[in-house]
Amino acid sequence: MSQRPYVIDVMISAKTIAAKIEDLCSEITSEFGNTDKLIVVGLLRGSFVFIADLVRELDLPIEVDFLEASSYGDGMESSREVRILKDLRGAIEGRDVLVVEDIVDTGHTLNHVTKLLRSRNPKRLKSIALLDKPSRREVDFRSDWIGFEIPDEFVVGYGIDYAQRNRNLPFIGSVRFTDDPE
Ligand SMILES: O=P(O)(O)OC[C@H]1O[C@H](OP(=O)(O)OP(=O)(O)O)[C@H](O)[C@@H]1O
Ligand code: HPA
């Protein structure tokens, strides 16, 4: 695919993200305070940075597992067809589960994944998303915890890509095409 030229404007700094994660983790720690073990499920690939920071702030007995879902390919439009490319290693029946997602946009990915995991009869299933774009929602879905509500802009960084690039930026930035007429 030929790439249009773009720049990335900082939307949420690394420091602001770190402060938000501390707040979210104290809420999650109280919610799951009585758990014997919390299974923290990261949705690959976008959540790999978020889950790494999150689990280090959780004062709970945890296990980590991953599930890979994909619906965007290399573009900016959801295919609305969520493909499970890699399933969990472990069973979640009767367990406490926290699903960790980088961004909820149309909502198709997290809606599909939480339905799939709920069908496996966990004891409790909650979800957390660092970013939420409510104005883009196509299905009725809301995550239990949200870091930041953001406007309808395509974002990258802190694990999130555009055509597989920019996942390594330490902040959340918005993509601005420099060949746009305005
Ligand atoms: O709410 P939605 O419109 O479904 O969009 C959110 C999903 O889109 C991105 O995944 P992508 O398919 O790009 O895979 P990736 O995580 O490997 O980047 C992102 O990481 C979320 O999982
Ligand atoms: O804004 C976004 N950026 C990158 N990937 C995405 N997947 C859904 N929304 C986005």
Q: What is the pLDDT of residues 137-179, one digit of tens each?
A: 999 999 999 999 999 999 999 999 999 999 999 999 999 999 9
In tens, the pLDDT along 104-135 reads 999 999 999 999 999 999 999 999 999 999 99
C-alpha 143/C-alpha 114 separation (Å) is: 10
Asked if the structure places residue 22 within a domain, the reply is yes
Given this model, what pLDDT does residue 14 score?
A: 98
Asked if the structure places residue 74 within a domain, the reply is yes
Q: Mean pLDDT in the chain?
A: 95
The domain that contains 24 carries what CATH number?
3.40.50.2020
In ligand 1, which atom is closest to the CA atom of 78? 3
Given this model, what pLDDT does residue 180 score?
A: 76
Residue 1 has pLDDT above 60, yes or no: no
Asked if the structure places residue 170 within a domain, the reply is no
Mean pLDDT (whole number) for 72-86? 87
Asked if the structure places residue 8 within a domain, the reply is no
Give me the domain span that covers residue 55.
14-153
What residues form DSSP beta bridges with 146? 129
Asked if the structure places residue 147 within a domain, the reply is yes
Given this model, what pLDDT does residue 2 score?
A: 61
Of 9, 53, 59, 105, the active-site residue reads 105
- Count of structural domains, the chain: 1
Given this model, what pLDDT does residue 116 score?
A: 97
Given this model, what pLDDT does residue 16 score?
A: 98
The answer to whether residue 74 is catalytic is no
Asked if the structure places residue 176 within a domain, the reply is no
Q: For ligand 2, is residue 103 a contact (CB within 6 Å)?
A: yes
Given this model, what pLDDT does residue 74 score?
A: 80
Asked if the structure places residue 2 within a domain, the reply is no
Asked if the structure places residue 167 within a domain, the reply is no
Best residue for ligand 1 mutational test, from 47, 76, 103, 143 (most atoms within 8 Å of Cβ): 103
C-alpha 47/C-alpha 69 separation (Å) is: 11
